[in-house]
Chains A and B, each alone.
Chain A
């Protein structure tokens, strides 16, 4: 298990380094420098500015400085929000985005997996068809359609929940965003769990467990469920990536002050340090979650550790 964990980590770290290096290079290659907005500078002033910020150094030295700054959590100043550093902006937005994403993933697991199990056990029945159809709908509809649609129904027509806004974290403001974000993930989990449980229930060892006279619930809980959950677990890594991207839309739709909105606004303003800083943070998060999903998978399925 330990060597499996080390091997998986050994894959994730270079990936992150590639992301960081690419974003550094793009930042340097992008047209326009940080001092372009000022009046034309005399060469002497320009040279001084370059020296102060280390821009006169060779690219390799700058890269080493950049890595050092990153290690200290310093992403540089934001170009569009002049009074803030990128780290401050990330610090402001990330807790909300993380809460949103975590709540959505938890909700999706709590709803999607039981729904998939229920559908598989009721195979061919009315509830199976209803759940399967609902899952197909949930997967097909993009969040930027379901979000406004849910706000229209539950906010504007039924007045059950606020349409948008934040109000210092009152939970009612998070209900619609979390549900919107969780919907496609739950639908996908339900579909995966249904398919894989049906497959496991057809295997020989489940049949022999039944033949030994074990009750249906004992067969389900002790024999079928653990292998049946493997596809769902391996989907959790991609699901986190999905939730991260989805949160960009959700925060825009529901007017939440999370880091996703900074990222989108930064891209619109062409604020390189902000966008690249955010991307690095998000990439690190995504890779960490992928790694966690891999480790859980390896723990559930000893066969995977050898691969």
Chain B
């Protein structure tokens, strides 16, 4: 747990440890390159994500027509579409992680700090949702609200992502609130909300940052999983999930349509997980 007196020193130490971690550093550089290329894809390639090139249908990767990663059956450029997918996946997963970590933080901290019946009811609710496969909740939401809009997708995956954060934050808050400095704050008459904001939340920061980082690849997985099943991002928009689905259907004649987006997905997941693990080791060196 973060020593309260360490303050800035903790973060500086963590930064130093993170920089010393070769795997995390490589992952960060690789992620940066992929994200940069994904942002600049419209400038690099002459093709748009939905433009059709009738002279190069189902073209294998190569230099012909500037389709470096090939094209799909409709002649759409796979380089641009894959990077659009990467961009969408990163955007959705970052937003969804922020939302779900925010909910989880508030839920866990309030439950842990409130105690008593409120705590019991709040954590029981988490248990109930936790015992169901997350995908069901998302499927029910997308059945009821309808699918296709990115806002719904975001809502659906954020709605299930916060449970683990809530549990972890709850546990940490329980430990924190028995500490002397909280008692001191209470004794000097700091109001409950003030204690929560000024004393509990800053001490949860390390855990939450690590958890947020580890949530991002989870969210990428959720998003591509749903899009793969046809419940997420819809054609003509590209996401890694629906590109992999389209590629799986064409893998006999055009295996690159499967392999290119799959490789990018695996790359993203591997980098994000390495980075998350590195961050965890950096912020909590005692446990590992």
**A interface secondary structure, majority:** helix
B244, A290: Cβ atoms closer than 8 Å: no
B103-145 vs A: 1/0 string, CB under 8 Å? 0000000000000000000000001100111111001101110
**In the complex, B146 has a CB within 8 A of chain A:** yes
Chain B, interface size category, equals 35 or more
CB of A249 within 8 A of CB of B139, answer no
Q: When the two chains form their complex, are residues A142 and B221 in contact, meaning their CB atoms are under 8 A apart? A: yes
Chain B residue numbers with a CB within 8 Å of A253 are 248
A152 at the interface (CB under 8 A from B): yes
Question: Which residues on the A side are within 8 Å of B251 (C-beta)?
Answer: 148, 151-152, 156
B252 contacts partner chain A, Cβ-Cβ < 8 Å: yes
> Given the interface contacts A140-B270, A148-B258, A148-B262, does A264 sit within 8 Å of B231 by beta carbon?
yes
Looking at the complex, which of B67-75, B165-173, B222-230 is the stretch in contact with chain A? B222-230
B33 on the A face (CB < 8 A): no
Give min CB distance, B160 to chain A, whole Å: 11
A248 CA to B225 CA, complexed, in Å: 10
Interface size, A (range): 35 or more
Q: Give A279 to B135 CA distance when docked, in angstroms.
A: 10
Chain A residues, Cβ within 8 Å of B285: none
Q: A151-B251, A264-B229, A279-B136 are known contacts. Are A272 and B221 too (CB-CB below 8 A)?
A: no
Residue A99 is within 8 A (CB to CB) of chain B in the complex: no
User: CB of B247 within 8 A of chain A?
Assistant: yes
Q: In the complex, A276→B143 CA distance in Å?
A: 9
Q: Which residue of A lies closest to B142 (CB)?
A: A267
**B244 smallest CB distance to A (angstroms):** 6
* Cα–Cα distance between A14 and B131 once the two chains are bound (Å): 12
Report the Cα distance A18→B128, complex, angstroms: 8
Contact with A along B250-288 (1 / 0, CB 8 A): 011001001000100110011001000000000000000
Instruction: Chain A residues near B59: list those with CB within 8 A.
Output: none
Contact pattern, A 269-280, Cβ under 8 Å of B = 1, otherwise 0: 011100110010
Residues of B within 8 A of A270 (CB): 143, 146
- The interface residues of chain B lying within 8 Å CB-to-CB of A149 are 258, 262
Is B258 in contact with A279, judged by CB distance below 8 angstroms? no
Residue B147 interfacial (CB < 8 Å):
yes
**Contact in complex: B131, A286 (CB < 8 Å):** yes
The docked-state distance in angstroms from the alpha carbon of A147 to that of B248 is 9
Chain B nearest CB from A158 CB (Å) reads 14
Cβ contact within 8 Å between A283 and B140 = no
Task: Please determine whether A249 and B143 come into contact, CB atoms closer than 8 angstroms.
Answer: no
Can you spell out 6 A-B residue pairs with CB atoms less than 8 angstroms apart? A15-B127, A144-B248, A148-B251, A268-B147, A275-B139, A290-B131
A interface list, Cβ under 8 A from B: 11-12, 14-15, 18-19, 23, 26, 29-30, 140-142, 144-145, 147-149, 151-152, 156, 163, 241-242, 244-245, 248-249, 252-253, 263-264, 266-268, 270-272, 275-276, 279, 282-283, 286-287, 290
User: What 10 new A-B contacts, CB under 8 Å, besides A142-B224, A270-B146?
Assistant: A148-B262, A151-B251, A242-B133, A245-B134, A252-B228, A264-B231, A270-B143, A275-B139, A279-B139, A282-B133
